Amino acid sequence: MSYGILVKNIDGRVQMDENVTNVFPDPATEGSAIVGSEYPPVGISSSEMIAVRAKSDGHVAVGVNADPNTTYDGPAFMSTNNYYITRFEGPTSGFGYHVLKPYAGNVSPSTTGIGFEIYNSSSQVVFSATESSINFKIVALGNYGTAAEEALPSATTTYPDLTKLYVLINATTHTRVYVPLYDLDYEEIIGYRYEFVSGNAGRIHICKKGGNGSNIGALPGGTSIQYLILERIP
């Protein structure tokens, strides 16, 4: 390293350097889905991502694809226990979400003339403390195991304020099939559950569940779920 800045945490992991690419919520205000479902992918651009939180105790199911009433194009996020989701129970208060966009090298410099800023080799501002260019930071990440659990898996960490936390998850399958005419009902669903313990404090559980109408014990297995829990910085 011949120039620039490099900051590592106590564990030796890089926190920031001159190649910082920031992630902003756009719009800045949180989107809200009070009932049922949300189709956040519609209308958003390539490179954008959706981070969703439950507003009360319950599951958020991700990647729910089937809607037999319409064109088989179902929502990507489900918050309530309804026609689409029979295995997860959604939060009664719905969920909130942010559309996240990455920005590289085009953060506005501080207008106050104070604070901490980092420029890249093209003289672009990549980090500005006073402009709050870091809007999210990681609270936890990892891979949830291959065991399939529906209700309250083994997460034990209690976070002080779940209303600031959003989750991104990734796994191999998230399928829902429901065709009553042919008595076909099968689903493999991944998601996560917000467990409010006391006030806004609580835990987040990564979940998956699968099965069909006559065999709800059949669970998807063999694949782990990668997760990232983000904290929104006001």
Partner 1 sequence: MSVTYTADGQYYFNPAYANAFATAVLKIATGSTLTTNVDFFMDGTSALSNQVWGGIKRADIVFLGAVTAGDSLELAKNLLDSGDGDNPDSGPRAVLLVTELYSLWVANGIGYYGDTAGSPLFLESEFGLEVYNASGQTLITLTDRLARFVQTGTITTTTANESITVTVPGMVNNDSWNVFILSWPGLVGAYSYEITKNTGSFTLQRGSIAYGTLDYVYWIARS
Q: Which of 1, 28, 42, 181 binds partner 1 (CB under 8 A)?
A: 42
Residue 176 within binding range of partner 1, rule CB under 8 A: yes
Between CA 54 and CA 205 the distance in angstroms is: 12
- Is the separation of the CB atoms in 50 and 97 below 8 Å? yes
Coil, strand or helix: which one is 158? coil
Quickly tell me which residue has 């729910």 as its tokens.
64
Coil, strand or helix: which one is 164? helix
Quickly tell me which residue has 């429901």 as its tokens.
178
Residue 35 within binding range of partner 1, rule CB under 8 A: no
Instruction: Please state whether beta strands 165-170 and 21-25 pair in parallel, antiparallel, or not at all (unpaired).
Output: unpaired
By CB under 8 A, which span of 28-36, 67-75, 87-95, 196-204 interacts with partner 1?
A: 67-75
In whole angstroms, the minimum distance from the beta carbon of 100 to partner 1 comes to 8
* 77-106 footprint of partner 1 as x/- string (CB under 8 A): x------------------------x----
- 217 or 234: CB nearest partner 1: 234
**Termini Cα distance of the chain:** 33
Residue 22 within binding range of partner 1, rule CB under 8 A: yes
Burial class (CB within 10 angstroms; exposed 0-12, middle 13-18, buried 19+) of 207:
buried
Residue ranges in contact with partner 1 by CB under 8 A: 7, 9-16, 19-23, 39, 41-42, 46-50, 62-63, 65-67, 72-77, 102, 112, 115-116, 129-132, 134, 136-138, 140-143, 156-157, 168-170, 172-177, 223, 226, 228, 230, 233-234
